[in-house]
Amino acid sequence: MTTLTRDAAPSSAPAKRARRWKPSEVRAGYAFLTPWLLGFFLLTAGPMIASLYLAFTDYNLFTDPQWVGFDNFTQLFQDPRFLQSAKVTAIYVLVGTPVKLVAALAVAMLLNMKHRGQGAYRSIFYAPSLIGASVSIAIVWKAMFIDDGIVDTVGQFFGMQAGGWVGNPDMTMPMMILLAVWQFGAPMVIFLAGLKQVPAELYEAASVDGAGPVRKFLRITLPMLSPVIFFNLLLETIAAFQVFSSAFIISGGSGGPAGSTLFYTLYLYIRGFNDFRMGYASAMAWVLVIVVGVITAIFFKTSKSWVHYSGDAR
Amino acid sequence: MKTRNKLTMALGVTTVFALALSGCSSSDDSGSGGDAAAVSTDEDITISLAWWGNDDRAAKYEQAVDLFEKAHPNITVQTQFQAWDDYWTARNTEAAGKALPDVMQMDLSYLRQYAATGQLGDLSAQEGVNLDVSGLDESLLESGAIDGKQYAIPTSTNTLALFYNADITDALGMEPPADGYTWDEFDQWFLDVAKAGASEDPAVYGGADYAVTFWFFLQWFMQSGEQPFTEDGQLNFTQDDMKEWLNSTADLRDAKAVYPVEKAKQLEPLTGFTTNEAAAEVSWDNFLAGYVADSGTENIEMLPIPAGDDGQQHLFYKPSMLLAPSSSSEHPDAAAALIDFLINDPEVGTIFGTSKGVPAVAAQRDAMDVEAGSIDEKVVAYEDSVADIVTESAPIPVQGFGAIEAEFKRLGEELQYGNITVDEFVEQWWANAEQNIPQS
Amino acid sequence: MTENTIAVEHVGAQHLITEPPVRDTGAAATLRRSARRRKGLKGLGFHAFVLALTVVILYPAVWMFLSAFKPSSDIIGEVNPIPTDWTLDNFTKALSGIGGVSFWTFFGNSLILAVLSVIGIVLSATVSAYAFSRIEFPGRNIWFGLMIGTLLLPFHVVIIPQYIIFNNLGMVNTFWPLLLGKFLASEAFFVFLMVQFMRNLPRELDEAARIDGAGHVRIFRSIMLPLMRPPIITASIFAFIWSWNDFLGPLLYLKKPDLYSLPIALRLYVDQTSVSDYGAQMAMAVLALVPVLLFFIVFQRYIVDGVATQGLKG
C-alpha cells in the first residue's frame, strides 16, 4: 500500500544506471518488437522517406519528379492560402483540443461513478463518435447549424443573431470545434479505461485519512491517470493538427466558405490531389512534421515531471 | 525516375520500396499507337472498366457489360465504380503507380492532363479494326483528340441550358425569358424575379450568381466566336475578358438579386434552385433528372442560354463523358472493342437513355425508348431544338483545368462574400493559372 | 504488499488473476443499500444532469435516424427532425444493393475487415508495447522515438508510395494492404496506447514472476494480457470502428465491387454528376451504424467491469 501511494505521488525519475545489457533481455526485446520492426521497414519507412524526397521535387503524379531544391518551401511561406490554413489549424488546435479533453475527462468521471444505467449512458455518449465518421455527418451537422436550425433557434433565444452558422465564415470555426467536442467519445473511453486502472484501495485509504473528493482527485486520480492524460493530450493534439475528414466532408473538400475551414491537411490534399502538386504537398507535410515534432518533443520532455508510471518508478 | 531511384538507394531505403520504384520505372508505355489486330475470339482475356456514377448507373453498366460479354464470350470485363470525387482520387493514385484500368470513363476536364502525360492509349490505329467511329459527328470526335491522336471517344453529349421552375414563375406571375433573350435581359429578369419573390417566405430569387461558374465564362467568351484555349494548351482569353464577364453581374450582386451565398453554402450539395427558392439555373442539359429528383417537381423547363452580342448563342456539344483506354493496357484490342460496343450498340443506347447525356451515335439515339413526358424526352427535345444554334466545337481544356476551375469557384465564393473585388479575383486567378498550366 | 505476495504465489497456477472479486457479504450489502438510499438525492441529480446532456448529445443522432424515413428531397435544408411523410423506401433501396452486388456482400466485407483488424491490432500492439514498456534492450528508445515519429506525418503524402509498394507486390484487389499494417503494428496510436497502460502496471508483478522462474512469454501471457483488459477492449473498439468507417484504404485497394466495403457503397448514392439519393444514403448510413453500435454496447462493459487489478494491487 505504502509503496503504491508513494508511486502515485510525484517522484523524481529513476536515476539512469550504467548497465550491461543482458543477452537474454536483448533477444526477448527484439523478438517482441519483430512485428513492429517488420511493419516499420516494410510499410512505413520507405513511403516516409519517399515523401521527404518528394518535398524537394516538382511531382505531378503522372510524370517523374523533378528536383527543385528548396523551391517548394520558399513558395510555401509566400502562399497566402498556406498561411490561412496554418492560422485556421492553430486556432482549432488551441481551442478545440483542450475543450474536448476536459469534456472527455469530465464525462468519463461522471460515467465512472456508481450509478444505475451507466452502460447505457456510456453507449449514448459514444454514439457521436460513431456517427462522426460517417459520410452522412455533413448533412446531419449542417442541418443543426442552418437558418432556424436547432442551434440558431437556441441562439436566438439567448439573443444571438448569427443566423445559420454554416454559411457564415465567422461561425464555421466554432461549428467545427463543436463537431470535434461532440465526438469526445474516443478520449472518454480511454479515460474510462485509465480510471479503471486506479486501484480502489487508494481511494478507500484516502477516505480513511479523511480526504475529500477534490483532494482525492488531485492526489490520486490525476497522478494515477497521468499516463493516460498524457496519451490523450498528445494524440488529440497531433490529431487536431492533422484534422482532415470532418473539414473535407463538411466543406465538400473546398475548405470554404471563404477559406474558413481550410485546415492544413485539407489544403495539403487539395494541393496534392486536385492541383497535382504532390511535391508541394509533401513539403507542407514535412513542415507540419517539424512543427508537431517540436511540440511532441516538448510534451515528452515536460512529461517527466508530471507523468507517473507505476511500473517505472522503482 | 532515375533521380528518385538513385536517391532512394543513397538513403538506403528498404529493399521492398526500391523494388517498388524500379517496378514503377520499368513499366513504359506499351499499347499506345502501334498496330492493331482484330480482337481475338478464342484467347481468354480479362479487361477492366472503371466509371463514376451512382447506383442507378451501376445497374445500367452491369446490363451493358453482360451484353458485351455475350457478344465476346472469351472476354471478361471486370467493372469497378466510384462516386465522382473518389473516382479521381483512385485514378490519380493508379496513374502514379502505372496501374490504370484498361478502359475508363474520362471527363473532358481531365483529358489533356491524362493524355499529355502519356496515361492514355492512342485509338487511331484501332479505327476501322476494332473501333467504328463513323457514327460520330466529326467535330465531336475531335474533342477526344489531342495533337492528332485519338485518346478518347465521346459516348454522349450535353450542352448548356437555362432551367427554370415553372411552378415558381407561375406562382409569381412571371413569364420565362423570351426567345433570343440577351445577357442583359437575363439580368433584368433576375431583378424582376427577386422583386416579385421578396414577399414570399422564404424569399424567392432569380437564381445564383452565374458569373462565378468557369464553364459559363468559357461559353460567354465563345460567343465572341473564339475558342477559350489555344491548340497548344494555353489560355486564349485576357484578363480584361474575365473582368468584363465578372463585372456583368456586379449590379445583381449589389442589388442582392442573386441567391445569397450564405444560404447556398447551407444547402450544398443542393442549390437554391433545387430547394425551390430560386426560379432558374444555368447548367448542362442532362442535369434535368437530378433537378427533378432534388426539387420534387416535374415542372422544370428548359430554354437556350442568353444570346451574345451578335444575337447568337454559339452553343457547343460538350462530350458529357468519354471512354479512354489506358496506355499500359495489355489488351488494347479488347479495350477498343469494348469502347466500340459501348458507344455503338443500339441496345446499350436503350439501357442508358440520356442518363449519361444524349448518346453521341445516331443508332443509339434512335434505339432509346423515349416515353412521352419522360425526362429523356425533354432532354432529347431540347437538344433537337438547339441543334441549329450549336455552332461551336467543344473546347479542349488545358492541362491543369481541374485546378484552375476549382480556383475560379473558390474566388467566386470570396467575391460573393465581398472579400475580394473583381480585379483581385482576376489577378489571383491568373497567378494560380500560371502555376498550374504547364508552359508549352 | 501482502496481497501482492499472494498474487505472485498464485501466478504459476494462474488463479487469482481471473478470480472474481470477493462478493459482498449479506451484512455489507444491507449497509450499502441504506447508504444508497441516503445517496438517493445525489443519484437523482446525477441522472437529471446526465439525461440533459444526453438530449443535447443525441439530438443530431436522432435527426439522422429520423431522416432515413424521409423522402430524399425532404432531407437537406430541413430543420424539423420528424418526417412529414414517413417512408421505408430508403431502406428498401439501401438493402437492394448496387450494380448487382448485394448489400450483404458490402456488409460482409466490412465485417471481415473489421474483425481481422481487431485481431491484428490487439496482437501486434500488445506484443510491441510489451517490448517497449517491460524489456530493457539497446535501441529501445530510438525505436520508440521513431514510432512516435510515424504519427506526425499526414498520411496523404504516403498514399502514393504505399500504393506503389502494394501494387508491385500484387496485393491490389486483396484485403492484404488493409490488414498487413494492422498485424505489423504499423498504427502507432495503438502501440502507444498499450505502452501507456502497460507502463502503469506495478513492476512488482513481473519481478515476482521472474523470481518464480517465469519468462517473458509467460509474463506477457499470464500477467500482462489479463491485466490489460480495459485498454485491449478500448483498442478493439477503436480498431473495429475505424476499420468499419475507413474509406480511403478500400477505395484505393479494393477495385472489384465484390470486395467493396460499406463506406464505398454509401458514397455511391450521392453523385454530383447525375441523380443523388440522399434518403438511401441516410438509410444505409443508419444500417451501417447498427453493427458498430452493437459492438460498442457489448464490449463497453468490459472496459469497466470485473478486472481483478484491485485484487492484485495494494
Determine, for residues A228 and C196 on separate chains, whether the beta-carbon distance falls below 8 Å.
Answer: yes
CATH architecture type of domain B39-156+320-377: 3-Layer(aba) Sandwich (3.40)
Question: Mutual orientation of helices A222-241 and A185-197 as an angle, nearest 10°?
Answer: 160
Indicate the pTM of the whole model.
0.89
Q: What is the pLDDT of residue A252?
A: 84
Q: What is the pLDDT of residue A199?
A: 85
B56 touches chain C (CB under 8 A): yes
Determine, for residues A276 and B7 on separate chains, whether the beta-carbon distance falls below 8 Å.
Answer: no
Determine, for residues B19 and C168 on separate chains, whether the beta-carbon distance falls below 8 Å.
Answer: yes
Determine, for residues A150 and C79 on separate chains, whether the beta-carbon distance falls below 8 Å.
Answer: yes
* DSSP code string of A101-124: HHHHHHHHHHHTSS-TTHHHHHHH
Q: What is the pLDDT of residue C13?
A: 35
Contacts of B242 (CB under 8 A, 6+ apart): B217, B425, B426, B429
Sheet with B300-303, side-by-side order of all strands: B280-284, B160-165, B300-303
Residue whose C-alpha cell is 477503436: C238
Query: Please, which pLDDT band fits residue A197 given cuts at 50, 70 and 90?
Result: confident
C-beta of residue B289 within 8 angstroms of C-beta of residue B355: yes
* Distance between CA atoms of residues B316 and B312, nearest Å: 12
C-beta of residue C167 within 8 angstroms of C-beta of residue B99: yes
Among the partner-chain residues B55, B96, B275, the one whose CB lies closest to the CB of C160 is: B96
Chain A residue numbers with beta carbons less than 8 Å from the beta carbon of B265 are 166-167, 256-257
Helix (H, G, I), strand (E, B) or coil at B11: coil
What tens digit of pLDDT does each residue of B66-113 get?
A: 999 999 999 999 999 998 989 999 999 999 999 999 999 999 999 999
A14 touches chain C (CB under 8 A): no
Residue whose C-alpha cell is 437537406: C76
Determine, for residues C314 and A201 on separate chains, whether the beta-carbon distance falls below 8 Å.
Answer: yes
- The alpha carbon torsion through C275, C279, C282, C287 (nearest 10 deg) reads -110
What tens digit of pLDDT does each residue of B70-80 get?
A: 999 999 999 99
Q: ∠ CA A73-A74-A78 to the nearest 5 degrees? A: 115
Q: To which H or E segment does residue B47 belong?
A: strand B45-52
Residue A16 has pLDDT above 80, yes or no: no
**DSSP label of A95:** I
* Distance between CA atoms of residues B351 and B65, nearest Å: 11
Helix (H, G, I), strand (E, B) or coil at A14: coil
Select the more confidently predicted residue: B40 or C52.
Answer: C52
C-alpha cell recorded at residue B438: 504547364
C-alpha cell recorded at residue B6: 538513385
Residue B20 has pLDDT above 60, yes or no: no
Q: What is the pLDDT of residue A280?
A: 96
Query: What is the average pLDDT value for chain C, to the nearest integer?
Result: 84
C-beta of residue C259 within 8 angstroms of C-beta of residue C137: no
Contacts of C153 (CB under 8 A, 6+ apart): A48, A51, A285, A286, A288, A289
Task: Find the residue in A nearest to C41 (Cα).
Answer: A115
Helix (H, G, I), strand (E, B) or coil at B155: strand
Q: What is the pLDDT of residue C23?
A: 45
C-beta of residue C258 within 8 angstroms of C-beta of residue C105: yes
Phi and psi torsions of B43, nearest 5°? -65, 135
* DSSP code string of B308-350: -TTS---EEPEEEEEEEEBTT-S-HHHHHHHHHHHHH-HHHHH
Closest C-alpha to A314, from A8, A14, A11, A6: A14
Q: What is the pLDDT of residue C38?
A: 59
Residue A265 has pLDDT above 90, yes or no: yes
Strand partners, B78: B48
Helix (H, G, I), strand (E, B) or coil at B358: strand
First vs last Cα of chain C: how many Å apart? 6
- Burial of residue A59, with CB atoms counted within 10 A of its CB: 0-12 exposed, 13-18 middle, 19 or more buried: buried
Q: ∠ CA C168-C163-C249 to the nearest 5 degrees? A: 130
C-beta of residue B278 within 8 angstroms of C-beta of residue B430: no
Q: To which H or E segment does residue A67 belong?
A: strand A66-67
What tens digit of pLDDT does each residue of B158-189 get?
A: 999 999 999 999 999 999 999 899 999 999 99
Residue B416 has pLDDT above 50, yes or no: yes
How many CB atoms neighbour CB A238 within 10 A? 22
C-beta of residue C232 within 8 angstroms of C-beta of residue C167: no
C-beta of residue C211 within 8 angstroms of C-beta of residue C148: no
First vs last Cα of chain B: how many Å apart? 22
Helix (H, G, I), strand (E, B) or coil at B18: helix
What percent of chain A has pLDDT above 90?
A: 61
Task: Find the residue in B nearest to A144 (Cα).
Answer: B266
C-beta of residue B152 within 8 angstroms of C-beta of residue B435: no
Residue whose C-alpha cell is 426567345: B179
What is the ipTM, given to two decimal places?
A: 0.89
A275 touches chain B (CB under 8 A): yes
Determine, for residues C54 and A125 on separate chains, whether the beta-carbon distance falls below 8 Å.
Answer: yes
Closest C-alpha to B168, from B274, B285, B304, B247: B274
Helix (H, G, I), strand (E, B) or coil at C71: coil
Residue A101 has pLDDT above 90, yes or no: yes
Number of domains composing chain C: 1
Determine, for residues C252 and B89 on separate chains, whether the beta-carbon distance falls below 8 Å.
Answer: yes
Residue whose C-alpha cell is 465538400: A252
* Nearest chain B CA: its distance from C198 CA (Å): 31
Query: Please, which pLDDT band fits residue A113 given cuts at 50, 70 and 90?
Result: confident
Determine, for residues B96 and A65 on separate chains, whether the beta-carbon distance falls below 8 Å.
Answer: no
Residue whose C-alpha cell is 451501417: C288
Q: What is the pLDDT of residue A1?
A: 34
Q: ∠ CA C207-C209-C211 to the nearest 5 degrees? A: 75
Select the more confidently predicted residue: A198 or C128.
Answer: C128
First vs last Cα of chain A: how many Å apart? 14
> Which regions of B192-317 does DSSP assign to beta strands (E)?
280-284, 300-303, 315-316
How many CB atoms neighbour CB C203 within 10 A? 17
What tens digit of pLDDT does each residue of B358-393 get?
A: 999 999 999 988 888 888 899 999 999 999 999 998
Q: Chain A, 221-240: which have a CB under 8 Å from a chain C CB?
A: 224, 227-228, 230-231, 235, 238
C-beta of residue B18 within 8 angstroms of C-beta of residue A53: no
Determine, for residues B16 and C169 on separate chains, whether the beta-carbon distance falls below 8 Å.
Answer: yes
C-beta of residue B161 within 8 angstroms of C-beta of residue B283: yes
Contacts of the segment B8-16: beta carbons below 8 A, 24+ positions apart? B8/A46, B8/A49, B8/A50, B8/A53, B11/A49, B11/A53, B13/A45, B13/A46, B13/A49, B13/A50, B14/A41, B14/A42, B14/A45, B14/A46, B16/A42, B16/A46, B16/C165, B16/C169
Query: Please, which pLDDT band fits residue C90 given cuts at 50, 70 and 90?
Result: very high
Residue whose C-alpha cell is 475528414: A245
Residue C182 has pLDDT above 90, yes or no: yes
**HSE-up of residue A170 (Cα within 13 Å, Cβ side):** 5
Question: What superfamily would CATH give domain A55-306?
Answer: MetI-like (1.10.3720.10)
Residue C8 has pLDDT above 50, yes or no: no
C-beta of residue C134 within 8 angstroms of C-beta of residue C209: no
Helix (H, G, I), strand (E, B) or coil at B79: strand
CA A233 to chain centre: 7
Full residue range of the structural domain in which residue C189 is found = 2-16+89-312
Determine, for residues B53 and C273 on separate chains, whether the beta-carbon distance falls below 8 Å.
Answer: yes
C271 touches chain B (CB under 8 A): yes
Of the candidate CATH numbers 3.30.750.24, 3.30.1490.150, 3.40.190.10, 3.20.20.70, the domain formed by B160-316+395-436 belongs to 3.40.190.10
Strand partners, B322: B106, B154
Which of B80, B273, B274, B356 is the mutation pick for testing C, counting most C CBs within 10 A? B80
Determine, for residues C314 and A4 on separate chains, whether the beta-carbon distance falls below 8 Å.
Answer: yes
Chain B residue numbers with beta carbons less than 8 Å from the beta carbon of A55 are none
Equal fold, B39-156+320-377 vs B160-316+395-436: yes
Phi and psi torsions of B63, nearest 5°? -65, -45
What percent of chain B has pLDDT above 90?
A: 75
Determine, for residues C274 and B61 on separate chains, whether the beta-carbon distance falls below 8 Å.
Answer: no
Mean pLDDT of C108-137: 96
C28 touches chain A (CB under 8 A): no
Q: Chain C, 17-46: which have a CB under 8 Å from a chain B CB?
A: none
C-alpha cell recorded at residue B220: 460567354
Among the partner-chain residues C73, C270, C275, the one whose CB lies closest to the CB of B83 is: C270
- The length of chain C, given as a count of residues: 314
Determine, for residues B403 and A45 on separate chains, whether the beta-carbon distance falls below 8 Å.
Answer: no
* DSSP code string of B387-410: GGGEEEPPP-PPTTHHHHHHHHHH
Contacts of C237 (CB under 8 A, 6+ apart): A189, C295, C296, C299, C300
Helix (H, G, I), strand (E, B) or coil at C176: helix
C-beta of residue C154 within 8 angstroms of C-beta of residue C110: no
Q: What is the pLDDT of residue C37?
A: 62
Q: What is the pLDDT of residue C21?
A: 43
Helix (H, G, I), strand (E, B) or coil at B303: strand
Q: Chain B, 97-116: which have a CB under 8 Å from a chain C CB?
A: 97, 99, 101
Select the more confidently predicted residue: C301 or B333.
Answer: B333
φ/ψ bin of B12: left (φ > 0), alpha (ψ from -120 to 50), beta (otherwise): left
Q: Which amino acid is at B82?
A: Q
CA A64 to chain centre: 35
C-alpha cell recorded at residue C100: 448487382
Q: What is the pLDDT of residue A139?
A: 87
Among the partner-chain residues A135, A148, A186, the one whose CB lies closest to the CB of C266 is: A135
Chain B residue numbers with beta carbons less than 8 Å from the beta carbon of A276 are 92, 113, 400, 402-403
Q: Enumerate neighbours of A (3 or more CB pairs within 8 A).
A: B, C
Determine, for residues C156 and A40 on separate chains, whether the beta-carbon distance falls below 8 Å.
Answer: no
